[in-house]
Amino acid sequence: MVDVGKWPIFTLLSSQEIASIRKACVFGTSANEAIYITHNDEVFVFGLNCSNCLGTGDNQSTIVPKKLETLCGKKVSSLSYGSGPHVVLCTEDGEVYAWGHNGYSQLGNGTTNQGITPVQVCTNLLVKKVVEVACGSHHSMALSFDGDLYAWGYNNCGQVGSGSTANQPTPRRVSNCLQGKMVVGIACGQTSSMAVVNNGEVYGWGYNGNGQLGLGNNGNQLTPCRVAALHGVCVLQIVCGYAHTLALTDEGLLYAWGANTYGQLGTGNKSNQLSPVQIMMEKER
């Protein structure tokens, strides 16, 4: 059973419903929306339904979980959300579905119409088996089984990686420095994007005002740029907060960079970091 007890919204469910949960995600500005997948691969949503983000076909809030029939039995493998909010997920079969806020084409269907129900993202992805998805505030990314990366949506800071700041209405392959490389992990900040390739290199692009790309400066990048400061270490996994980034190496070392107003980097101070710094446990300092 997944431990969802820390989220107040799940107090609305019965103990029987909670026991059925295999995977859960809480989203929305005040954590007032939730989606969960049961052990039987049924998909339920409940909460406020801001911007039709519950995908129920209407704009009604609900404290009683509603089933998303389109997704039931699909075996959801990866799930992400933006702050619009919009929701993007992929299934074990490699299909991608999206719904919710779409003011910047972050649903990838070529329009800016809100998505009131889950709709498969087709452009350039139908022939790909997608294994991971990630969302920024208003942009989305999808990683395929063979290591190709696609991005779409809001691009005011270059977070789609196309080389321009024009919004991208449908999935577009991210290439440039990633051409010929096999991407194995992805993450999005608010308006930034990060990728790890199979040799442990890390790349970042998009907004960099807080140093969240780890490049040693705070200039935005319109295409992927390698995080040179991590040369010599092999990164396995990367995650992003709103404006900061964490990377885990094959030796179990943790690096952090970007915004640090609240001490979120764990460096012992509240100064932003423009380049990766290794994070030590208190006893190691």
> Quick one: pLDDT at residue 30?
87
pLDDT tens profile 237-271: 999 999 999 999 999 999 999 999 999 999 999 99
**The predicted structure's pLDDT at residue 238:** 98
Residue 45 lies in a domain: yes
Contacts of residue 14, defined as CB under 8 A and 6 or more positions apart, other chains included, come to none
Residue 281: the pLDDT is 75
DSSP character at residue 61: -
Q: Is residue 153 part of a domain?
A: no
Whichever domain contains 118, its CATH number is 2.130.10.30
Claim to verify: residue 91 and residue 230 sit in the same structural domain: no
Q: Which residues in the chain show pLDDT less than 70?
A: 1, 282-285
Q: Give pLDDT, residue 29.
A: 83
Residue 231 in any domain: the answer is yes
Is residue 235 in some structural domain? yes
What's the structural domain count of the chain? Answer: 2
Same domain, 126 and 66: yes
Domain shared by 135 and 244, yes or no: no
Query: Which residue has tokens 């790349």?
Result: 203
At 212, the amino acid letter reads Q
Looking at the structure, do residues 1 and 136 belong to the same domain, yes or no?
yes
| Distances 8 to 24, 50, 189, 230 between C-alpha atoms, Å | 13, 18, 25, 39
The pLDDT, as a whole number, for residue 1 is 63
Q: Does residue 156 sit within a domain? A: no
Query: Is residue 149 a part of any domain in this protein?
Result: no
Residue 135 included in any domain:
yes
| Whether residue 224 sits in one domain with residue 135 | no
Can you give the pLDDT at residue 282? 62
Domain range enclosing 85:
1-144
Residue 166 counted as domain residue: no
